[in-house]
Amino acid sequence: MKIKLRPDFSPGTWIKIILEKRRTRARSRVGRYLVGAILELRFPSIQFPTHATDPATEWTGDFQIGTTCFHITATPSQALLRKATDNLSAELHPYLLVPRDQVAKAYHLAEDQGIVSRVSIWGIEDFVAANIIEMCADKQEDFVAKLRAIIERYNRRLKEVETDTSLEIELQ
């Protein structure tokens, strides 16, 4: 997918544009590859799995760092919140990452499950943007260069497991 990169836009807007290109089930996969790329850059000593489909139900989450389990999805559901409840029972901290327009739904589902005060819920756009800003501040890099590095990682991760090359991102 081709993305016109406007340097005057915020990092969160860039990610929103990328996610909006895929308003289908593929949006979960795009989000997962983006978060995986961010985590690889932030924590280079940790191996993060690459998977083309949703992880098997027995997995603790899409990614795990210490006791934090990241769950990335385009559409929060009761099944996701049950998995988050299982994380809590195992003394793990669930971190739900959903598109910004799904955050309120995720909060309502967490309230219904009785765990809203025990989970972290963020928009994927906000999570990626915050990480871009933090990584750039650490090394005094510019946002565009960091996004390009993330997209390189994203495309590499995608090519490891995907047959659908339409998910590859080309920044213009």
129-133 CB contacts, 8 Å cutoff, 24+ apart:
129/10, 129/11, 129/12, 129/14, 129/15, 131/38, 131/41, 131/42, 132/11, 132/38, 133/11
The answer to whether residue 72 sits within a structural domain is: yes
Range of the domain at 104: 2-48+61-162
Average pLDDT over residues 51-58: 57
Average pLDDT over residues 122-143: 91
Average pLDDT over residues 145-152: 92
- Averaged pLDDT score across all residues of the chain: 89
The answer to whether residue 54 sits within a structural domain is: no
The answer to whether residue 168 sits within a structural domain is: no
The answer to whether residue 53 sits within a structural domain is: no
| Total structural domains within the chain | 1
The answer to whether residue 171 sits within a structural domain is: no
The answer to whether residue 116 sits within a structural domain is: yes
Residues 8-35 pLDDT 10s: 999 999 898 888 887 666 888 889 999 9
The answer to whether residue 68 sits within a structural domain is: yes
Residues 37-53 pLDDT 10s: 999 999 999 988 876 55
